[in-house]
Amino acid sequence: MSEPPVAPSALLAGRTVLVTGATGVGVGAGVVAAVAALGARLVLNGLGDAELEPVLARWPDAIGVVGDVSDPAAVERMLDSAQERAGVPLDGLVNNAGVGLTRRAHEADAGDFDRVHDVDVRGVWAVSRGFARRLIAAGGRGAIVNVSSVHARATEDRYAIYASAKAAVEGLTRGMAVELGPHAIRVNAIAPGYVHSEQGLELLAAVTADAAAWARRTVERDQALPEPIGALDCGWAAGFLLSDLAHGVSGQSLAIDAGMTAQLTRRDAPV
């Protein structure tokens, strides 16, 4: 991931933002870099100290908190620790933690389904619930950004279970926006398409024998803008939704997909 450009303004100065699943190399890394560049104080979540160590080395002013988002009790302990160490209520949350699955629904087992929904749906709910309860008790205002996916709207072979989880995330986004609006808490989502990274190419080995060719075809054929999407593209969008520039925006899902979901046919389709 390239270094972020100079931020146009300190949009998030004075904010304390928790990013779950902050130890990855994809969307989460872009969110962390963008939110930091926009001036927020970072609270970074990971599954263990070993996973957090490299990211905390890069962001030494950040607070690291360990917790499995799929475990509501662990989430409560994590949020207590985060608020105690920050010294102020958290007023920004990016629910980035998630897992994927490339297996057809009729070939999957209950463990596959539970693993994806426990992290991708239960985790979003559990962290958002605890974040909102603490912020409401403190009388503050804030914003939640959930990481959804283009798969929430339309999907492809081997992604049914993952798509169902991301569709649930978008339902939670809209519902919690309605419920938390009276408490001055906005809830939105970003829905990335294919986000390019060298490390991400390694993960594509599960679905294709030639990851580089797959990525190139996706960018050139499936996107309206034939340019790669980077993790920072997702990060800047999350930063906007966390900021006061999005004061009137809640219950929405913003596609970061270079026009993929707007395009009716693939570029190589016959006309």
In the block, tokens 């890069």 appear at: 58
CATH of 16-193+231-257, one of 3.40.50.720, 3.60.21.10, 1.10.260.40, 3.40.50.670: 3.40.50.720
Long-range contacts of 149-156 (CB under 8 A, 24+ apart): 149/191, 149/192, 150/191, 150/192, 150/193, 150/255, 150/257, 150/260, 150/261, 152/191, 152/253, 153/191, 153/255, 153/261, 154/261
Instruction: Report pLDDT digits (tens) over 83-119.
Output: 999 999 999 999 999 999 999 999 999 999 999 999 9
Roughly what angle, to the nearest 10 degrees, separates helices 27-37 and 231-242?
Answer: 50
Q: How confident is the model at residue 61 (pLDDT cuts 50, 70, 90)?
A: very high
Catalytic hit among 125, 131, 159, 162: 162
CB 93 within 8 A of CB 127: yes
**Residue 145: strand pairing partners:** 94, 188
Residue 199 in this model has a pLDDT that exceeds 80? no
| DSSP SS3 for 64 | strand
Mean pLDDT of 70-77: 98
Q: Compute the Cα dihedral for 10, 13, 15, 16 and give only its sign.
A: positive
Tokens of 90: 């958290």
Q: Cα-atom radius of gyration of the chain, to the nearest Å?
A: 18
162 is catalytic: yes
Mean pLDDT of the chain: 94
Instruction: Please state the domain extents for the chain.
Output: 16-193+231-257, 196-229
Cα(250)–Cα(232) distance, integer angstroms: 22
First to last CA, the chain: 37
In the block, tokens 């999957």 appear at: 108
Cα–Cα distances in Å, from 22 out to 6, 64, 94, 161, 169?
A: 21, 9, 9, 23, 18
Q: How confident is the model at residue 56 (pLDDT cuts 50, 70, 90)?
A: very high
Instruction: Report pLDDT digits (tens) over 217-265.
Output: 999 999 999 999 999 999 999 999 999 999 999 999 999 999 999 998 8
Instruction: Determine the distance from the C-alpha atom of residue 127 to the mean position of all C-alpha atoms in its chain, rounded to a whole number.
Output: 13
